[in-house]
Amino acid sequence: MNTKSRWWRILIVSIMALALIIPTVAGAQTSSGIVSPTDGQTLSGTVDVTAVFPGSPYVRWDLFILPGGNDSGRIWVASGEDAGEATLSLDTTKYPDGDHAFSLRLVKADSNYDEQIVPFTIDNSGAASSSSESASTASTPDIVDTAVAAGSFPTLVAAVQAADLVDALKGAGPFTVFAPTEEAFAALPEGTLDSLLADPAALANILLYHVVSGKVMAADVTDGLTAETLQGSDVTFTVADGSVKINDANIVTTDIEAGNGVIHVIDAVILPPAGSETAAAPAAAPATAPATTGLISPTDGATLSGTVDVTAVFPGSSYVRWDLFILPGGNDSGKIWVASGEDAGEATLSLDTTNLPNGDHAFSLRLVKADSNYDEQIVNFTIAN
């Protein structure tokens, strides 16, 4: 074989190899991430945004808009966990004309992520609208409207409505809200959520423990940081091994910006410290407290139905507080807070047993000392509704 023929064959083989490689690379570029709109596209009116989420090794995707291309002002648009293609409708008239960018974050189990940036331009200059409509659509929705529009927090939204906190969270703020996922609410002991929804004061107490005054962005959180909630008690942040926690809950999505604050998504419902709740106030103590201490009604082993009175006597003295819980199935790990108090004497509260499942349960009355140690009384009972 002559030299010219040999090099000619090498060139042909190289071109064929390149022809095989190029479609593969092009396919890789569109197999995951934002596929529409394309980089640098000009958008107006309502447009479809389409992205492909590959799944493994990623556990979640988060889509943001970066106004002016600035990451510090990013606005959350949507999140998801299912692998495959997702398309959402975006009304560009809600954002100012000019250059912006999409940020698609593919999040791994350790909360690290890979990010795709797609610049785009909004030009709605030709769209006819009244000045009042323009002012309305240009404003960013508040925390409540953002949560409703997301469609990912129906239980939280229902709870905010039941607790009569809608107007408060639509206020000027700014507020930082730690929003539990649907799975977080589902993980509560059976009957807990229904019981809370039936008790707006107790529900509001817990929900306000998920709200901090001011706008706390993810970048502001440091290990050991504490913040006072609107409920009045502090929450503590932990930063370790690439993950961030608020109390015992993981923060799984951060910096969902709203017009009056920011939302972070957490994977558990967090509860205020025992004794900080104000949902159920004990009755005034009698002038002379009875000698009996602890739960005096219902008695151990009683069968309960409908609405019943629960009465206990708190001795005071070496104790600084009492906390009453229900242990569903007698299991301490799923305990449900009922009431707390500090005044010595007798306290009676009304308990609707229909908010709890039928079966064997227990009351736990904890008499708490100044050093936070406590003595505990367990009273078993059965619900038969």
Where residue 374 falls among pLDDT bands split at 50, 70, 90?
A: confident
- What the block records as the tokens of 188 is 């509560």
pLDDT in tens, 299-313: 888 898 888 898 888
pTM of the model: 0.43
pLDDT at position 289: 34
- What the block records as the tokens of 289 is 């407290």
pLDDT at position 139: 54
**Pick from 171, 179, 204, 151: nearest CA to 256:** 179
Q: What is the mean pLDDT of residues 175-185?
A: 90
Q: Name the percent of the chain lying above pLDDT 70.
A: 82
**Pick from 379, 373, 236: nearest CA to 295:** 379
DSSP 153-174: -HHHHHHHHHTT-HHHHTSS--
Dihedral angle of Cα 277, 281, 285, 290, to the nearest 10 degrees: -80
Torsional sign, CA 156, 159, 161, 163: negative
Phi and psi torsions of 57, nearest 5° = -85, 15
Q: What is the mean pLDDT of residues 75-97?
A: 80
pLDDT at position 16: 38
- What the block records as the tokens of 340 is 């707390």
Q: Which of 60-69, 162-171, 276-285 has the lowest mean pLDDT?
A: 276-285
pLDDT at position 73: 64
pLDDT in tens, 35-64: 999 999 999 888 889 989 888 888 888 888
CA distance 15 to 13: 6
pLDDT at position 258: 86
Where residue 177 falls among pLDDT bands split at 50, 70, 90?
A: very high
Q: Name the percent of the chain lying above pLDDT 90.
A: 9
Could you give all domains of the chain from N- to C-terminal order, each with its CATH number?
A: 34-122 (2.70.50.50), 139-266 (2.30.180.10), 294-383 (2.60.40.1220)
pLDDT at position 118 over 90: yes
pLDDT at position 4: 39
